[in-house]
Amino acid sequence: MSWTQPVYSSHVAEVGYDSDSNELLVTWQSGRVSAYVGVAEELAVQIANAPSVGQALNAQVKNVYSHRYVR
């Protein structure tokens, strides 16, 4: 199942997950979308619900999972 959730963050507009590809999708305030490959859905849910989405991404996702820009 795929889902997206708007978040309150100065840099992140939306966090989503694509279960077909196991990708965490991050829509930045600029409109760009990043995909982080191989992220478990449980971690994606934690990121989406974190008190600070940016801190959670930095601590648990960036420099850990492969990244690509989707748009």
Alpha helices in the chain (DSSP H): 41-48, 53-60
Residue 71, pLDDT score: 87
Residue 36, pLDDT score: 98
Percent of the chain with pLDDT over 70: 100
Domain count, the chain: 1
Residue 16, pLDDT score: 97
For 23, the domain range is: 3-69
Tell me: pLDDT of 1 over 80: no
What's the mean per-residue pLDDT of the chain?
A: 96
Contacts of residue 50, Cβ cutoff 8 Å, sequence gap at least 6: 56
Residue 9, pLDDT score: 94
